[in-house]
Amino acid sequence: MAGPSRSERVSVLLPLPFDTAFTYGADAPLAPGTLVRVPLGTRMVVGAVWDDPPDPAVRVRPVAEELAFPPLPAVLRQFVDWVAAYTLARRGEVLALGLKPGLLAEPKRRRKTFVFEDLDPARPGQALSADQATAAAALRAGVAAGKFAVTLLDGVTGSGKTAVYLEAVAECVASGRQALVLLPEIALSIQFLQRFAARFGAAPAVWHSELTPAVRRATFRAVAEGRAPVVVGARSALFLPFPALGLIVVDEEHESAFKQEDGVTYHARDMAVVRARLSAAACVLVSATPSLESVENAAAGRYARLDLPVRHGNAAMPAVAALDLRADPPERGRFLSPVLVGEINATLARGEQAMLFLNRRGYAPLTLCRHCGHRMACPNCTAWLVEHRSRARLICHHCGHGVVLPEECPACGAEHSFAPIGPGVERIAEEVAHAFPAARALVMASDIITGPREAAAAAAKISGREVDIIIGTQMVAKGWHFPHLTLVGVVDSDLGLAGGDLRAAERTVQMLHQVAGRAGRADAPGRVLLQTFAPEHPVIAALLSGDLPAFYAREAAQRRPGHWPPFGRLAALIVSALDERIADAAARALYRTAPRGAGIEVLGPAPAPFALLRGRHRRRLLLKTGKDIAVQAILRDWLARTELSRAARVDVDVDPVSFM
């Protein structure tokens, strides 16, 4: 760009950890959103012309190149600014969630598989029940209205929620606008993609971390040029440059996987609502076990609500029963009670499939020296090493540190003294092989089913009845439809309640209800057995009765008086340092300068449950305020008033989901 005067100035936001847009010179005015290549130090980087007024005084370097790419839409620019202001992230970091280096390169050749426009919204969908048809008509009307509104679609497991919201997608596509469907585990959602293709005659564009660079580039461009009518994606798909977004669906909206915990800590469900509002688009939140946040928003009239109270077709809800492990204990060294073993045998004898759920990867969560009691712990984290027998290693699930099980105990020197304590799915698979030698078992866990191909193969095996017993972690709770699966056994129903954070009960009910919902989805009735030491616990009682509204009412009644979310606001400050004393000093400094005032409370500092994580010592403080108080201004002021060592880091997590 060799202009004579470079009389124009433009602000450019870079997808790098800067909050400010930098001012550059240009020969001619550049419209906001224009993608440009600019010098930064000694290198060239891609950025976007931003709406900030350029600095009139600063010495500028010229924009090197204007890229032949559609400008980032105004809505996306507003969204980036909004998310950054809400999460206290730097705007460049938020921009980088969508705009990554390499995405803007011209595709080398247009491959046929990259055609995104072949969706046919006019194809007849699946036959809908009366309930489904009513809900679908309401969602279609919402999309057709062309304005912002949020609907909670709450349907029991197996009620056919997907078929309903695909009608809203069809309406959106037919109107010439784009639709975005967010799924918590898109890379594994093979069955969803099959159903989508059956409805529209073609696959949607997908967006997740497993894509090849070529597909990623082609998809990004197709979205920006308006050629991708539907994107099905992970949370980062919210930051794609849709020029004409008409609908956002958040499926399994209760899932904590929608919360990004690293870098920019944002909740994709909440930000989907914001993006829809800025886009004047419809937003549909979908779940059989909605978050208490969404339930309360619907109750308060902020969201519309549609219910699907019965299962699709002839299927009935599964019968749920508790197995009291105090009365019916497993044999020594085993984890399945005799009653559950008997039920599995009866299920297999009928030619049906069974599923065992345990939300723990590996063989055993703890390895203990029988001689001295030494426990194998991670040197970098407050965590035990988990044995993965199939890989002959003990692995930390937080930092990845791995060791071979030593022959001698490092504490007492005893030889071959280690014993595995407690089960993971690998150990349950071992017990299944022993108890049901003729049965064909399949383990589904994230270290085994690592991508779309493995997920598709596993789903095909199960649907093709090449598997008798499925053993899985939370991965099996998500949306699967296996028509021959009639028995679900939960190995340890109490597991999720141990941590006891704000949402432990809610999360456990959601996960176990979802797992239970895999049973009996076709003609044969389903049965769910919950192994527990506490059958009287309210969580187990809610699962037994199936009365989720009563459970939500109880949760709300517990949280409301103390102004806990969703009846108040929380923000966490996680202070960390390599040196424990620096972490402590920084935490104390933050406590001394803590904000005060009506409706404001600061809890902590306290060692985080993971007091040591990836080698960093961690302390937590929690800011709790009334619902009508914006925490961002308080946090900004608080951090600005506090002098901290440069060796300490403070991560801010607005609306925390994890308290670890």
CB of 414 vs Zn ion, minimal distance in Å? 5
Closer CB to Zn ion, residue 346 or residue 660?
Answer: 660
- 403 lines the binding site for Zn ion (CB under 5 A): no
Q: CA–CA separation, 333 vs 193, rounded Å?
A: 41
Considering only residues 489 through 548, tell me which ones interact with Zn ion, judged by CB under 5 A.
Answer: none
Q: What mask, x for binding Zn ion by CB under 5 A, covers residues 91 to 120? A: ------------------------------
- 411 lines the binding site for Zn ion (CB under 5 A): yes
Q: What are phi and psi of 124, to 5 degrees?
A: -70, 130
Residue of 381, 432, 530, 585 interacting with Zn ion (CB under 5 A): 381
* Contact yes or no for 493/360 (Cβ under 8 A): no
* Contact yes or no for 188/105 (Cβ under 8 A): no
Return the range that interacts with Zn ion (CB under 5 A); candidates 30-38, 49-57, 377-385, 508-516.
377-385
Sheet of strand 441-444, all strands in order from the earlier edge strand to the far edge: 319-324, 527-532, 485-490, 353-357, 469-472, 441-444
CB of 610 vs Zn ion, minimal distance in Å? 9
Q: What mask, x for binding Zn ion by CB under 5 A, covers residues 149 to 168? A: --------------------
Residue of 58, 122, 197, 372 interacting with Zn ion (CB under 5 A): 372
Q: CA–CA separation, 391 vs 471, rounded Å?
A: 18
Q: CA–CA separation, 609 vs 604, rounded Å?
A: 13
Residue of 44, 105, 127, 412 interacting with Zn ion (CB under 5 A): 412
Q: What are phi and psi of 241, to 5 degrees?
A: -85, 60
- 374 lines the binding site for Zn ion (CB under 5 A): yes
Residue with tokens 């969630």: 97
- 393 lines the binding site for Zn ion (CB under 5 A): no
- 358 lines the binding site for Zn ion (CB under 5 A): no
Please state whether the peptide bond connecting residue 605 to the residue before it is cis, i.e. omega within 30 degrees of 0. yes
CB of 407 vs Zn ion, minimal distance in Å? 12
Return the range that interacts with Zn ion (CB under 5 A); candidates 11-19, 372-380, 424-432, 590-598.
372-380
- 376 lines the binding site for Zn ion (CB under 5 A): no
* Contact yes or no for 171/143 (Cβ under 8 A): yes
* Dmax (CA) of the chain: 88
End-to-end Cα distance, the chain? 51
Q: CA–CA separation, 481 vs 355, rounded Å?
A: 12
* Contact yes or no for 219/205 (Cβ under 8 A): yes
- 380 lines the binding site for Zn ion (CB under 5 A): yes
- 382 lines the binding site for Zn ion (CB under 5 A): no
Q: What mask, x for binding Zn ion by CB under 5 A, covers residues 413 to 432? A: -x------------------
Structure token digits, residue 590: 């933050």
- 28 lines the binding site for Zn ion (CB under 5 A): no
Closer CB to Zn ion, residue 100 or residue 371?
Answer: 371
- 409 lines the binding site for Zn ion (CB under 5 A): yes
Q: CA–CA separation, 446 vs 233, rounded Å?
A: 18
DSSP 130-147: HHHHHHHHHHHHHHHHTS
- 369 lines the binding site for Zn ion (CB under 5 A): yes
CB of 501 vs Zn ion, minimal distance in Å? 20
Residue of 401, 461, 537, 563 interacting with Zn ion (CB under 5 A): 401
Return the range that interacts with Zn ion (CB under 5 A); candidates 61-69, 95-103, 376-384, 622-630.
376-384
For residue 654, what are the β-bridge partners? 571
Structure token digits, residue 64: 């090197």
Closer CB to Zn ion, residue 122 or residue 372?
Answer: 372
Residues lying near Zn ion in the complex (CB under 5 A) are found at 369, 371-372, 374, 378, 380-381, 396, 398-399, 401, 409, 411-412, 414
